[in-house]
Structure 1
Amino acid sequence: MRCRAHQLFFPLFATYAMCCAVCAQPHGTFAIDVIGGVVSPSNPSVTVRVSGVFPDTWYALEYAKFDLISSDETGEFSNLFIPAPIGPYPHGTWGCVNTTGGTIMNGSAYEAVFFQVNALGCGAYPGMPLPIWEGTWTATDFTPRTVDLHTENTSEFRVFTDHNATGGYDFVAAGWFDHGFGSITVVPAPSSGALMLAGMMCLARRRR
Structure 2
Amino acid sequence: MFTNGAIIKATETSLIVALIATVLSTLLGVLYVLAIDHMSRAGSELATALINASMLIPEIVLGVATMAFIRLIGMAPGYVPLVLAHTTFCIPFVVMPIRARLQTLDRACFEAAEDLGAPGFTTVTRVTLPLLTPGVISGALMAFVVSMDDFMISNFLTTAGTTTLPIYIFSLIRKGVNPSINVVATLLLLLAIVITVTSTVLTNRKSK
Q: TM-score, normalising length from structure 2? A: 0.32
**Greater helix percent: which structure?**
2
Q: TM-score, normalising length from structure 1? A: 0.32
Larger RCO: 1 or 2 (CA < 8 Å, sep 6+): 2
**Greater strand percent: which structure?**
1
Q: Radius of gyration: which is bigger?
A: 1
